[in-house]
Structure 1
Amino acid sequence: MRLLEGQVALVTGAGGGIGRGIALRFAEQGAAAVAVHCRTAASATAGAAREVASRIEDFGARAVVLEADLRDEDACHRLVREVAEWGGGLTALVNNAGVQPTRPLPGMTTAQWRAVVDTNLTGVFACTQAAAEVMGPGGCVTHIASVEASHPAPGHAHYSASKAAIVMHARSAALEYGPHGIRVNTVSPGLIDRDGLAEAWPEGVERWVRKAPLGRLGRPEDVADACVFLASPLASWVTGHDLVVDGGVSARPTW
């Protein structure tokens, strides 16, 4: 029996990279229906989202592509309602959508700060709240955080702060939704490989591989497997936990 047999899942930001890997792995592990979220039909990832939905159907699961601007609270609630109506319920939500611009903290404007926080944090808050309203006991919410929640990088103050807040949101939500049988956790990836990364940032990739005890970059499937575990019966007593998936980099001494 596959780990997610019969589940109905929503993966936000599922058009590419980590989100794509999660959505496909959920289908591969037996989810009955996987909703693939993208921001708008005109977004750069909309076509990729449709391709992901087609791949999900190849695994024998139902798939749908739904649009929502997660900076809008009403849009988040509408998205979750549409998934529940389409899928006949909702058992798993993966809050994966996020942005990661680089900008030095000195001179950062409030608008630039909010553009990151509203997407990475407020969208997670609203989608989780909406999901908890339609989930029954056994429901699972997983936020994709980052190792930068505890190890900030220059130029990422807004991103790191939003991811640190996501970790604490999950712990708070685990506390308050636990009595309803709903679990909430985070997965914190390290550096995940993508097309062109080694060419665009060769020194960073080389530095990461050298520091990682397991000697490689992460893959979307590594993060996806962590999400599958947390959504499965194997993690039925795991909530409020931050599962770090970084090849061991965070275990390296900083002194």
Structure 2
Amino acid sequence: MSKFSLQGRTALVTGGARGCGLAFARGLAEAGANVAVFDLVPAEPGFLAIEKECGVRTAYYKVDVSSQESLANGFAEFQNDFDNALDICVPCAGINRHLKFLEYTYKDHHDLLSVNVMGLYFTAQLAAKQMIANGTQHGSIVLVASMASYIAVPTQLCSAYCGTKGAVRAMTPAIAKEMAEYVSLPLKPSPSDLLLSPPQNIRVNSISPGYVRTEMTAAFPHLLPLWEREAMNGRIAEPEDIMGACVFLASDASSYMTGQDIVVDGGVTRW
């Protein structure tokens, strides 16, 4: 199980103050990583408890990922506080709009693109630059897509959201290909070092959650029974149900995976 350990590593999670982002932050911390989060909403007590309960370092930064200036300032502050350490990045911040395709405005769609695509993309870019600069030997970027990138969600009006999450899933292998050339080696490695710890490139994968009980889905309580019927196992997910996939992709247990997507949807997309 040592392959799943994140002891001594540093992680950054956007949208980490609540919902799936908070679950990802806790999962990474439980595996041993120090965790910083970027979010616009204040951190919940659940995040504030992580440091003491998991024995790791945590930090919260108020950052708007849709703003180039706010994102750059957040990274600068994070780099300064954590001495440029970064091994894991999980860009999870995202928004949705329940609107008919024929009623969408340019601004509505632009808002989604600004957070779900541009914010995620440039979070990953800044994280990758920081990983390259610090020479991490365990670089892993875990983008958060959605099962909405695979299907037309039958119970929601989310054409623009589906498009943004499709963009996330499509960019994953392309970014992974470019980042594969950044292989980190121990300083003056010996043959035994290379045998025990093969060179690692910076890996890029994605997760596609299904229906999850979060603040975002809380706006649709009337849809819960329908979502439960759509899942093979008859229930919607709690954020903790998605957590394991994130820890797996962040850890050396997935060291031969890059450019891939893991669907965690209770089987919704499979029947």
TM-score (norm 1): 0.89
1:151-230 alignment runs, 5 A limit: 151-153=151-153, 154-180=156-182, 181-194=201-214, 200-202=220-222, 204-230=223-249
- Percentage identity across paired residues of the two chains: 30
Q: In the superposition, relative to structure 1, how do residues 151 and 28 fare at CA in structure 2: closer, same or farther (>3 Å)?
A: same
Q: What amino acid does structure 1 have at the position aligned with 2:23?
A: G
Tell me, yes or no, if the aligned pair for 1:147 and 1:190 is still in contact at 8 Å. Answer: yes
Q: Is the 8 A contact 1:141 1:183 kept in 2?
A: yes
| 1:199–1:94 Cα change, 3 Å | closer
Q: Quote the Cα distance in structure 2 between the aligned partners of 1:206 and 1:28.
A: 32
Counterpart position of 1:148:
148
Q: Superposed, which structure 2 residues align to 1:238-253 within 5 Å?
A: 238-252=257-271
Letter in 1 for 2:213: D
In 2, are the aligned partners of 1:152 and 1:160 still within 8 Å (CA)? yes
Task: Tell me which amino acid in the other structure corresponds to 2:36.
Answer: A
Q: CA deviation at 1:80?
A: 2.6
How far off its partner does 1:75 sit?
2.4
Residue type matched to 2:55 in 1? G
User: 2:122, 2:226 → 1: CA distance?
Assistant: 37
- Write the distance in 2 (CA, Å) between the matches of 1:223 and 1:7: 21
| Counterpart residue identity of residue 241, structure 1 | Q
Match of 1:42 in 2: none
Query: What letter matches 2:63 in structure 1?
Result: A
Partners of 1:170 and 1:53 in 2: CA distance: 31
Check whether the contact 1:23–1:56 (CA below 8 A) recurs between aligned residues: no
Q: Residues 157-180 of structure 1: CA distance to partner in whole angstroms, max 9, x if unpaired?
A: 111110000111111110111111
Asked if the contact 2:95–2:216 (Cα under 8 Å) also holds between the matched residues in 1, the reply is no
TM-score (norm 2): 0.84
Q: Which piece of structure 1 moves more, 152-161 or 111-120? A: 152-161
Instruction: Decide whether the 8 Å contact of 2:15 with 2:92 is kept in 1.
Output: yes
Amino acid of the residue matched to residue 35 of structure 2? V
Change (3 A) 1:211 1:129: same
Displacement after TM superposition at 1:142 (Å): 0.7
1:66 match: secondary structure: strand
User: Aligned AA for 1:223?
Assistant: I
Two-structure CA RMSD over aligned residues (Å): 2.0
Aligned residue pair count: 244
Q: Distance in 1 between matches of 2:216 and 2:263?
A: 24
Structure 1 position 100 matched with structure 2 position 63: no
Q: Residue 133 and residue 234 in structure 1: after superposition, are their counterparts in 2 closer, same or farther (change >3 A)?
A: same
Letter in 2 for 1:24: R
Partner of 1:52: 47
State the partner residue of 2:121.
Answer: 125
- Please, which runs of 5 or more residues in structure 1 have no aligned partner? 40-44
Structure 1 residue 109 corresponds to structure 2 residue 105: yes
Using the alignment, how far apart are the partners of 2:108 and 2:53 within structure 1?
A: 40
From 238, 247, 251, give the equivalent of 1:232: 251
CA distance in 2, matches of 1:150, 1:194: 21
Higher Cα Rg: structure 1 or 2? 2
Contact 1:198 1:205 in 2 (8 A): no
Q: 1:94 to 1:195 in 2, by over 3 A?
A: closer
Report the alpha carbon displacement of residue 197 of structure 1 after superposing the two structures with TM. Answer: 6.0
Counterparts of 2:137 and 2:26 in 1: how far apart (Å)? 25
Per-residue deviation, 1:196: 11
Give 3-state SS (helix, strand or coil) of 1:179's partner: coil
2:93 partner letter:
A
Determine if contact 1:36/1:53 at 8 Å carries over to the other structure.
no
The question of 1:79 aligning with 2:74 is answered: yes
Contact 2:93 2:115 in 1 (8 A): yes
